Structure 1
């Protein structure tokens, strides 16, 4: 039930995200206004992240998830009413996506920190895969369906569907029991209120070598994701059509879905260092592959492989945090993890364009300084500088993976727990308690 409600809510949000962006662009005709929509969907949540993590650890995670669904539904209803009255303006959309960003800042760490309370240790990795599958389907099926729905039932219809998904998931959450985590020594509430709890969360992350290493490794991973994401569209369009770009983006979505399915069924490598550094190596190689030639076939393979490996690495990272960190402080740890990832992504998005246009593109023009050397391998002309940037990112990712594989704090991680075969139950031994996935 939990996963069904999550998938329904994620799909509804994906419908609205796509429709909002399309409406803003159609109404203003401005790419800048559209970009501002993307920025507002990211930045408020990044800023609010530390406080959100403290709230997740302080309050009931089930209550927070329910409140976040209700708080998400209200702005959707307001937008629908404004649109019906022909009063909807772009700034309304900016406020809406900003509010949604703040809500996600609470919702995502609450969700991540709840998984370890709902699933036994040997099933946490698979449970992560199910959650990531819901988000992957939202980013593929949800966006594609959102475009179709926008054409068929207009913005008001899409908003109505999204509102219904929030109501549906709220009803499901009302029947899910998420137990409160036991209070650990690390989670003892310091004097000083929320500010002291936020500082305590930062201290917890900063004083544990494993958490610092995973945080730095994930930040490096998000740099590669941000640059690859920002460069991919202009790189493909420099030699191919918009239809080809759509195929490449679809391959990225399929790769994310396949990676999530693999985690949900397999759980990822038993040795966690393989799930981190081991899968980061082919991730870097796929980036390099997509840069070698202006070939849609190569980029399709690279796009699929990149998102598949990225999903495995990200899922493994989250599994480590869920299993190795005390449950009552996971809200702050995940909020920190998400905030750093969001900051890195935002900076990558902002820097990728100028770095590609002003630094790398001139190097591989027909008369560029590297046309006779690097250009003889990956080609010269428009777009090949961006390909070189992607190649550099791939090499940096390979170096990062090798460095990570040699870190004692990661190599010393215990193997992922595996599900034990069922054993006959003696009459003198009580049977196991039922799962707490559903309850009052």
Structure 2
């Protein structure tokens, strides 16, 4: 398969996704602000978040089967179009000023189903276009785009919600989706045609093969397991960053904004480092080290005195960088270890598994903070990450991941 012109192809993907990411980030932040001001209810925010995540977790594994069978370019286009249509319907639901929360939740759930198809398809495209030795750099650039959107999106969302009614703010997401769709029109993505029809029996068989692709690769399934366990600590902490800023360090809206921006800047630095430098050692080492570094930032943040907000800012930046590197390397290892015709299923399964801890975090983060204190929650989550990083180094099957590729690289050098 010809991959000499992969960079030109990916430029179109990056441009379209960058605009879409920023617009989506802005709208998501604006909706959170609007819901907070309109209802002043943590329950409303929690239900909205669950509506936006749970369908993706439920439908994700089945979506992955069809992603592997269908033309991935068309999957991304149709998914973007479906998400934009749901957003357009939300604008009509909010236009009269009389909010129907159940309808809002339903449309957010439908958007989540669209995301269940879009995100795994996007990740599964890279190995079809990009040479294997460039996959990590592509993942690094992807992290840069996510980081910039995480920085610029909330700022744009705050400006938009201050100047426009919520139903008009939603148009930003529609414009971003349209831009992403148009950018995909200019590229060609290889299509691996399936050998069998998508009967119900075949779909279950394909889903089982996706599970087996993870299960039979002992190192990969350990990497999945440790990552999911880490998310059980990381995601509740991510939810509690504002509480930590206000409750422990005595901050306000400005300090909360600083922490959010610094985390995004850290992610930007981490992604930039991966895209700028060629990693000459085994990627699994980076995964393990980032577990430990991220854990240390949480532990140190938890033991800081209330007067050390500046140190908390610095640690947050290091945490964002380590999270960015972890995500990029994690995705690259999956792309290298799994056959291209099964990546849709595997990424869908991972995204579904990763969402479950986030739902647990949404349900229990407030109670955890109330009973043991936010600072102690940071320390416990950090210790969990550090232990998982150490255990990873002591897991032989995990440490063998990428060993063959490293031997080949050493021979070429």
- For normalisation by structure 1, the TM-score amounts to 0.83
In 2: Cα distance, 1:236 partner to 1:261 partner: 27
Partner residue of 2:250 out of 220, 224, 240 = 240
**2:39 counterpart of 1:28:** yes
Which deviates further from its counterpart, 284-293 or 347-356?
347-356
In 2: Cα distance, 1:84 partner to 1:183 partner: 44
Q: Which residue of 2 aligns with 1:394?
A: 382
**2:30 counterpart of 1:19:** yes
Q: Which residue of 2 aligns with 1:127?
A: 138
In 2: Cα distance, 1:9 partner to 1:223 partner: 28
Contact 1:182 1:328 survives alignment (8 Å)? no
Q: Which residue of 2 aligns with 1:152?
A: 163
In 1: Cα distance, 2:110 partner to 2:396 partner: 41
Deviation at 1:306, TM superposition (A): 1.1
Q: Which residue of 2 aligns with 1:265?
A: 276
CA offset digits 1:117-145 (Å, max 9, x no partner): 12111111111122222222222211221
**2:358 counterpart of 1:345:** yes
In 2: Cα distance, 1:188 partner to 1:261 partner: 42
Q: Where in structure 2 are there 5+ consecutive unaligned residues?
A: 1-11
Deviation at 1:409, TM superposition (A): 2.1
Judged with a 3 Å threshold, the aligned counterparts in structure 2 of structure 1 residues 348 and 155 are, in CA distance, closer, same or farther, namely closer
- How big is the alpha-carbon RMSD for the aligned residues of Structure 1 and Structure 2? 2.4
Deviation at 1:65, TM superposition (A): 0.3
1:219-234 map, 5 Å = 219-234=228-243
Is the radius of gyration larger for structure 1 or structure 2?
Answer: 1
In 2: Cα distance, 1:219 partner to 1:257 partner: 23
Looking at secondary structure, tell me which structure has more helix per residue: 2
CA offset digits 1:385-411 (Å, max 9, x no partner): 321221122222111111101222232
Judged with a 3 Å threshold, the aligned counterparts in structure 2 of structure 1 residues 345 and 85 are, in CA distance, closer, same or farther, namely closer
Deviation at 1:221, TM superposition (A): 2.5
1:228-307 map, 5 Å = 228-238=237-247, 239-242=249-252, 243-266=254-277, 268=279, 270-293=281-304, 294=306, 295-307=308-320
Contact 2:129 2:189 survives alignment (8 Å)? yes
In 2: Cα distance, 1:7 partner to 1:132 partner: 11
CA offset digits 1:341-366 (Å, max 9, x no partner): 111222133233323322x2xxxxxx
Contact 1:122 1:419 survives alignment (8 Å)? no
Judged with a 3 Å threshold, the aligned counterparts in structure 2 of structure 1 residues 188 and 86 are, in CA distance, closer, same or farther, namely closer
In 2: Cα distance, 1:34 partner to 1:345 partner: 14
Q: Which residue of 2 aligns with 1:365?
A: none
Judged with a 3 Å threshold, the aligned counterparts in structure 2 of structure 1 residues 268 and 301 are, in CA distance, closer, same or farther, namely farther
